[in-house]
Amino acid sequence: MRIFLVALLALAVGCKAKAAKPAGFVKHERMTKEKDLPFHFSWRNPNGDFARYSKVYVAPVDTAHMLKMDWYKRGEAGAAGDFSRDLAQIAIKAREMMVEAFKKPAKGVANRFTVVDKPTGADTLILELAIVEIVPSKASLEAASWAMPTGTGVLLSPLNTSTAAMEGRYKDGKTGTELLTFADREGEKARPIDLAGFTWYTHAKGIMKDWANQLVQVANQKPGETVKDSKVFTLKPW
C-alpha cells in the first residue's frame, strides 16, 4: 500500500517540463508546436525532403549558448566541482548517444541512415545540437526526502528536479540549408524509488538518451506518422 501511494504521488509530480527561454542557437520566432513532433517548438522547411538523404553526420554538441543559471540551479555540482568541465563531458557523451542511436536504433525504431565522420555530399544530413540548460540533481535533498515519512518525500521534488534543455537543427550536408529546427526541455522521470537522484547528472543523461532516440525517429519520419514524446514516469530506479 505504501509503495502504491508513493507511485501515485510520483505520477502526480511527473509532467512535461515547461519550455525554456530562447537561447539563440536557432530562430525561435518562426517555430511553433507541431503535433507530430515531440518537441516544445519546431519549424520545418517547406521545401525540405528527408527522404532524399541516406547518411547523417552528428556535429560536436554546442555548449556556447547556455542559458544563465543561478547558484541554486547549478546546485551541489556547481559548488563542489567544475561545472564547465562537467558540461563539456556531458556534451561529448550526448554526441556519443546520438551516434549510437543511429548505429543501433532502439527496439521498434526503423533507421535507414548510415553515420559518417564528416559532412560531405548532397545525400548527407547534418545534425547540430546545443545543450542550453543542465540542472543537476541535488543529492542532499534526495537523501532528506528518503528520511521523511513514507510518501511525503515527494514534496521536495519541485526543489530537486533535474532538467535539461536543448536547441537543434537538421541541415543539408552540401548547402547548409536548414531543413528542421527544434527546441525542447525535459524534466527527470518520476519514479517510485529514485536512486538516480543521488547522482548529479544521471537524470540529465537519461533525458539526452530519449532525445537521441526521438531524433532518429524524426529523421526517419514518414508522412502522417507521429513521433511521440518521452514518458514522464518509469519504474526503473536508475
Q: Is 89 helix (H, G, I), strand (E, B) or coil?
A: helix
pLDDT per residue rounded down to tens, the chain (238 residues): 444 444 444 444 455 789 999 999 999 999 999 999 999 999 999 999 999 999 999 999 999 999 986 544 444 444 445 778 888 999 999 999 999 999 999 998 999 999 999 988 899 999 999 999 988 765 433 433 333 344 433 433 444 567 889 999 999 999 999 999 999 999 875 433 333 333 457 778 888 999 999 999 999 999 999 999 976 444 343 3
Looking at residue 233, the DSSP 8-state letter turns out to be B
Contacts of 120 (CB under 8 A, 6+ apart): 173, 174
CA–CA dist 51, 112 (Å, integer): 10
CA–CA dist 114, 54 (Å, integer): 6
Looking at residue 195, the DSSP 8-state letter turns out to be S
CA–CA dist 161, 194 (Å, integer): 11
CA–CA dist 151, 145 (Å, integer): 9
CA–CA dist 208, 165 (Å, integer): 9
Note the pLDDT of residue 4.
Answer: 42
Note the pLDDT of residue 200.
Answer: 57
Note the pLDDT of residue 58.
Answer: 98
Answer whether 153's CB lies under 8 Å from 146's CB.
yes
Answer whether 210's CB lies under 8 Å from 230's CB.
yes
- Residue 122: name the closest of 167, 179, 73, 59 by CA: 179
Note the residue count of the chain. Answer: 238
Answer whether 113's CB lies under 8 Å from 102's CB.
yes
Note the pLDDT of residue 143.
Answer: 37
Answer whether 172's CB lies under 8 Å from 126's CB.
yes
Note the pLDDT of residue 195.
Answer: 37
Note the pLDDT of residue 189.
Answer: 58
Alpha helices in the chain (DSSP H): 2-13, 71-80, 83-103, 139-147, 202-219
CA–CA dist 168, 211 (Å, integer): 11
